Amino acid sequence: MFIRCQMWRRGVLISHVVNTIGFTWSRRPLYTMQLKTKEFQSLFTDGLNALAEIFQKNNFELRIAGGAVRDLLSGKQPEDVDFATTATPEEMKHMLQAAGIRMINNKGEKHGTITARLHNENFEVTTLRVDVQTDGRHAEVEFTTDWQKDAERRDLTINSMFLGLDGTLYDYFQGYEDLQKRKVCFVGNSALRIQEDYLRILRYFRFYGRVAAEPGQHDPDTLLAIRENARGLAAISGERIWVELKKMLVGKHAAHLLELIFQLELAQYIGLPPEASMEEMKQVYQRTKGTYPKPMTVLSSVLHGPEDMEKLDLRLKISREEKTLGIFLVKQRRDLVKGQDENDSLKPFTDFIIDSREPDAQSKVLELLKYHGERKLLAELSRWSIPRFPVSGHDLRRLGITSGKEIGTTLQELREVWKKSCYQLGKEELLSTVSGS
C-alpha cells in the first residue's frame, strides 16, 4: 500500500510517498516534487536529448545527480551537471557504441563513470554505487540499481538528491527540506560519513559557507563528530585539502569557519600553526569583504611569519604563485603601509612596485591593500599603469660614462630622482642632471 501526500510550495507540487508495507529502518520516506524552472529547461540541449533517448530506448534510468540538483533547487544555473544511472559501465559502453557515440577519458571507468560526447558536449554518467570498504580516503565500491543506497553513500543531504529528466525530484534524506532551511547536515550518522572520507570535514565547512544563512548554527553532534575525527585529516593529501580550503576561504562565513578549524583542533593536521590571532583574522575578513580577495590573502592572517608559510607549503603543496603571495603578505603587512602625504598616500606602494624585480608585484600589492582594507587606494592602484623608467645604460655611455660600476650607480641615483618626481621627469630632464653635475 502506498500513501501519497501532496502540497504546493512556491509554485511546485511536492509529494511525500511512503510505502507502508514492509517499511524498515533502512528504507526512508521518499520526498518528490516536480521542477519546471527555466534553469532546468535550459539543460535540455540537443546533446542531452540525444543521450536521454539512448538510455530510454535501452530501458535504463538516467537522472541528474549531486550538486547540480542542489543548484537547480536553489534557482541557480549549475556550472557542471553530473548524471547517475542504473546501467553498468559495460552496459553503457555497449549501447553508446551501438548508437555510434564516441566515449572519451576512460580513466573513470573503474569508478563507474563513462564520459560520452554528443553534439560537441561531454556528459559524465556514473553507475549507482554502494561502498563495500573504505579507509578514510578511498572507497571500494560495487554497482547497484538502488537509488537510495547510492544516495546514502553521499556526504551531505543537500548533495544526495536526484532529479529525473521529467523534472521529478527524488529525495531520500530530507535534502530539499534542509536546503529550504539552509541547513548543512551529513547523510545519516555524521561520524560514519566522516570516517568514510575525512575530507568531508572540510566539505562540510565549505558547503556551510555556501548554504547557511548565519554563522554558528551547527548541530552540536556534528561538531563533536568533527572534533573526534580530526586526526583523520592527517592522511588526506594536501592537494585535496587545499582545494576545499580555498573554496571555503572565499565563501560566506569564512572567518567563523576558520576559527572553528582552530577551535576543533583541525589546524595541526592541515598545515596551519596550532594557534593564531583570531582577532587579526576576523579583522582581515571584514576588511576584504566585497573586494574578492585571493584565498591566500585571508589565510595569511593566521600565519605568524614566512616559516609558517613554508610549513603550509610542505603540507598542502600549494602553487608557487600562492606561496610567494603568502610570504609577501606576512613580510610586508606591517612595513609596507600608506604614505603620510595625503595627496599621494599611494606612493610607497607604487615605489615598491617600481623597485621590485617580481613581474607580478602589482597584483601582490593589490592583495596587501585588500588585507588592510584600503579600498580607495585599491581602486587607485587598480587603475595605475606601471611607468617605464626612461633612462638606460646606453644613454649614459653617450654622455661618456663608461665604467659599469659608475653606470649602475648613476642609474640608481636617477631612478630615485625620477621616483621623487612621481615618475614625471623625462629622459632629457633626468640626463641634464648628470651633465650638469
Which residue, 160, 258, 173, is CA-closest to 208?
Answer: 258
Same domain for 116 and 42: yes
Whether residue 209 lies inside any domain: the answer is no
Same domain for 424 and 350: no
pLDDT at 295: 98
Same domain for 405 and 356: no
Same domain for 415 and 341: no
Least confident of 41-45, 204-208, 253-257, 425-429: 425-429
Question: Which of 157, 181, 205 is the last residue before a domain boundary?
Answer: 181
Same domain for 114 and 66: yes
Tens of pLDDT along 383-413?
999 999 999 999 899 888 888 889 999 999 9
Whether residue 376 lies inside any domain: the answer is yes
Tens of pLDDT along 175-219?
999 999 999 999 999 999 999 999 999 999 999 999 999 999 999
Whether residue 140 lies inside any domain: the answer is yes
Same domain for 364 and 407: no
State the CATH number of the domain containing residue 56.
3.30.460.10
Q: Strand 121-127 to strand 82-85: parallel, antiparallel, or no bridges (unpaired)?
A: parallel
Question: Which of 150, 181, 212 is the last residue before a domain boundary?
Answer: 181
Domain count, the chain: 3
Whether residue 254 lies inside any domain: the answer is no
pTM above 0.75, yes or no: yes
Whether residue 318 lies inside any domain: the answer is no
Same domain for 41 and 138: yes
Whether residue 135 lies inside any domain: the answer is yes
pLDDT score of 378 more than 50: yes
Same domain for 99 and 12: yes
Whether residue 258 lies inside any domain: the answer is no
Same domain for 134 and 51: yes
Same domain for 102 and 169: yes
Whether residue 341 lies inside any domain: the answer is yes
Q: Tell me which residue range forms the domain holding 55.
A: 1-181
Question: Which of 147, 181, 215 is the last residue before a domain boundary?
Answer: 181
